Structure 1
Amino acid sequence: MNEKFHLAQGSSHTPVEKGGMRIYNMRFCPYGQRSLLVGTAKGIDFEVVNVNLVDKPDWFLALNPLGQVPTLEYSDGRILAESLIVSEYLDEIGDSTRPLQSKDPFQRSRDKMLMERFNMVINPLFKVMLNLHKPDLDLSPFDKMLDNLETFEKELVSRGTKFFGGDKPGLLDYMIWPWFERFEILFAMGNESKLKIPQSRFPRLFKWTNEMLEDEAVKTWWLPLDAHVQYLKARLFGPVDYDFLARQPQSNI
């Protein structure tokens, strides 16, 4: 997949091809990645347009005043936003032979509950990531993140399945994956053994991580650790550079 430059202020809005679907994304955004994973897993034909979230185009704000990704646009002007909403919608309209949600109402609701619960992992993770450059880094959010990860370790053990979704990744798997892809940033940038997630504490999640890396949708949208680290360094020290991958010759990441 060739990387695309991020459109910024001053760019123009190109109409979506008739009958087509477009997903606005930011290449390093875990929320945008959620919907790209689902759309790919469901075999949906969609166009991806990357948007500069620091210098957002006026036309993008007109489509979604919150200026967030993912934002889904149809050629007839219909718009959807918010990662969970867009992802659930894509699951419903995509390949019916590859359902990502359980037919059982209780299990489906429990998965949604766990998606919400995962915010208790995301929030402390971001607190650590955005403070990695500080010499007096507070490690308490990292400890809190680990405590909340235990819910998902125990859930996988309880289900006794390869993925949260069973034999194949389901919606819950794809909704939490983007942050697992980014966990190693902490150790790589923090240079702290205390910021390394202990495999002995989460053996099932480590196995799940390796199995997710073999999934075709994950392979399509996965980025290597050094790319995530370079992006975060730009976030912390400036200037933010969304397009370093696109500038690499013959980038096929």
Structure 2
Amino acid sequence: MTGRITLVSHALCPYVQRIAIALIEKGVDHDRVTVDLADKPGWFLALSPLGRTPVLKVGNAALFESAAILEYLEDTQPNPLHVADPVERARHRAWIGYGSECLNDIAGFYSAADTRTLHAKAAALHARFRVMEGQLGAGPWFGGERFSLVDAVFAPIFRYFDIFDRIEDFGVFDGLAKVTAWRQALAARHSVRDAVAGDYGDLLAAFLHRRGGALSRLMSPELIAVRRSAS
């Protein structure tokens, strides 16, 4: 399969960010088109059978589901992000799946209707990341000195907390020195920074405020003002 590569994305989608990071790390020249999932254009629905992002257009073909897209890029593009050893590669794939479970917990956190549920979801996220603390070595990346797909998957997870931490300290990273260092290293990585547009933080704040749940009620006037300007 050959042809010009286009990443069809949504501004806030963490699964899109995985693909964007991988494309940047691999040095793949590509185009990027952003769609509004609240008002999906017909051409997008024709490409995406599930009506969600990411979609990777390769010539006349359209690939969907982030895990499948990442594997396609590993099979066809330079600068592999998977480790070579089959056993270690399988282990990395398992932690990529765990990353998707973390994203589900994040959705539960920002969707919590009341404060009690919000803090219970924060505790669940702390437990998730405590598991990761036990998997990390000297760093700076998940597997040590080499940036991998696991890093590409967890970078968008940690990015949410750039805004969450401005709302309140929920203790999600308390006592997790290795995870905190990993998060900081990922935030400074060029591919991670460039995976989203400059207004990502404003758009996320606007999205969180529109949810109308317990988290939105804790937002400061400054963040609410950001929300209004980004709406």
Sort the TM-score into its range (normalised by shorter chain).
0.7 to 0.9
Q: Distance in 2 between matches of 1:233 and 1:60?
A: 27
Q: What amino acid sits opposite 2:126 in the alignment?
A: L
CA displacement at 1:121 relative to structure 2:
2.0
**SS where residue 7 of structure 2 aligns?**
strand
Among 48, 64, 74, the alignment partner of 1:81 is 64
State the alpha-carbon separation in 2 of the partners of residues 117 and 107 from structure 1: 15
CA distance in 2 between counterparts of 1:86 and 1:56 reads: 21
Q: Residue 126 of structure 1: CA displacement?
A: 1.0
Candidates 151, 171, 174, aligned match of 2:149 = 171
1:93 to 76, 93, 111: 76
Contact 2:54 2:64 in 1 (8 A): yes
Q: What secondary structure is seen at the aligned counterpart in 2 of 1:79?
A: strand
TM-score by length of 2: 0.82
Q: 2:131 aligns with which of 151, 176, 194?
A: 151
CA contact (8 A) 1:39 1:91 kept: no
CA contact (8 A) 2:126 2:171 kept: no
Name the residue aligned to 1:183.
161
Partner of 2:225: none
RMSD between aligned alpha carbons? 2.5
Q: 1:123 to 1:104 in 2, by over 3 A?
A: same
Asked if the contact 1:24–1:50 (Cα under 8 Å) also holds between the matched residues in 2, the reply is yes
Counterpart CA distance in 2 for 1:221 and 1:23 is 11
Q: For the Cα contact (< 8 Å) 1:186–1:196, is it kept in 2?
A: no
**How far did residue 94 of structure 1 move?**
2.1
C-alpha distance 24-236 of structure 1, shift in aligned 2 (>3 A) = farther
Shift in alpha-carbon separation, 1:236–1:69, aligned structure 2, 3 A? farther
Tell me, what secondary structure is at the counterpart of 2:140?
coil
Q: CA deviation at 1:74?
A: 2.1
Letter in 2 for 1:197: V
What CA distance in whole angstroms lies between the structure 2 residues aligned with 1:68 and 1:185? 24
Secondary structure, aligned partner of 1:53: coil
Structure 2 contact 129–179 (Cα < 8 Å) conserved = no
Counterpart of 1:196 in structure 2 is: 171
Matching of residue 34 in structure 1 with residue 9 in structure 2: no
Alpha-carbon deviation of 1:236? 4.1
- 1:133-186 superposed Cα distances (whole Å, 9 cap, x missing partner): x455442122111112112111113xx332114313211100121010102433
Structure 1 stretches lacking a partner, 5+ long: 1-17, 238-243, 248-253
Do 2:7 and 2:33's aligned partners in 1 also have CA atoms closer than 8 Å? yes
SS in 2 for 1:213: helix
The residue that corresponds to 2:120 in the other structure is 140
Q: Does 1:67 align with 2:51?
A: yes
Kindly provide the amino acid, as one letter, of the partner of residue 230 in structure 1.
A
Unaligned runs of 5+ residues in structure 2 are: 214-228
Q: Which amino acid aligns with 1:30?
A: P
Distance 1:204 1:106 in 2: 24
Separation in 2, partners of 1:92, 1:184: 33
Q: What's the secondary structure of 1:103's corresponding residue?
A: coil
Question: Per-residue deviation at 1:79?
Answer: 1.4
1:121 aligns with 2:102: yes
Number of paired residues? 214
